[in-house]
Amino acid sequence: MSIRLGIENVAWRVGGRAVLSGVSLEVGEGEVVAVMGRNGAGKSTLLDIVAGLRQSTGGVVRFNDRPAADWSPRERARLIAHLPQAVRPDLPFLACELVLMGRYPHTDRWFESDEDRAAVERAMRRTDCWGLRDRLVQTLSGGERQRVLLAACFAQSPQLLLLDEPSSHLDIDQQLHCFSLLREERERGVACLAVTHDLNLALTYATRIIVLAEGGVALDVPVEEASQRTDWLHLFSPRLTLSTTASGRSWVAYE
């Protein structure tokens, strides 16, 4: 199944404050969209609304032109994998059991198949955590746990990935590996919304950059355009400049 995500005038208020107001955007298959913005801009809230974990106070989310509310939980779980910003570290499961939970939308009741077990191994090998399969999640480091959670998302075989800071806790090499995997998913036609604060990872691996500010979409451009202009950097900090590396790649430098 192909995927087309439509977000139309989505709003969310809390305590009388509008965190999001009138957010509209579309994401199609094969896009890696970096969702960016300062702390409190509503990035995690937006992903939670798309995932169905929060009820918006206005607007509508559609998958393939069909309102999200019309999709059953099982249908949505087969379509979307969501990695939240924070997950309890004391989960009483083995790493392989946690990844297997990503297969539940595809299982026949309570019985996993050889295909499910193969999907788990494949996903854990992709995220370099197969060697952790018999470890309790609560014994893992932050980076190890993040790789296991990413594996659970990949094992789910979704058409839409919602990843809230997927490279958090990861060392530099694993950060690059994580975003390289998103590029691989893109080549399979999967759509991805990834919240990140790393401007250079976004410029290197994303296809689009969306910046949230003051409750709305302050910027929505292809990454090629973002690489050629500097007017959007002030949305993050006045201490940023855009330079070019020796290889010709655009690079955000800090003053």
Residue 208 domain-assigned (yes or no) = yes
- The answer to the question of residue 255 being in a domain is no
Residue 97: domain span: 4-226
In a domain, 239, yes or no: no
Task: Give the tens place of pLDDT for each residue, 145-165.
Answer: 999 999 999 999 999 999 999
Residue 243 lies in a domain: no
Model pTM score: 0.96
Per-residue pLDDT of the chain (255 residues; tens, 9 = 90+): 689 999 999 999 998 899 999 999 999 999 999 999 999 999 999 999 999 999 999 999 999 999 999 999 999 999 999 999 888 888 899 999 999 999 999 887 667 889 999 999 999 999 999 999 999 999 999 999 999 999 999 999 999 999 999 999 999 999 999 999 999 999 999 999 999 999 999 999 999 999 999 999 999 999 999 999 999 999 999 999 999 998 889 999 998
Say if 244 falls within a structural domain. Answer: no
Tally of domains in the chain: 1
252: in domain: no
Q: CATH number, domain at 179?
A: 3.40.50.300
Structure tokens at 122: 């494949």
Does residue 214 belong to any structural domain of this protein? Answer: yes
Whether 237 maps to a domain, the answer reads no
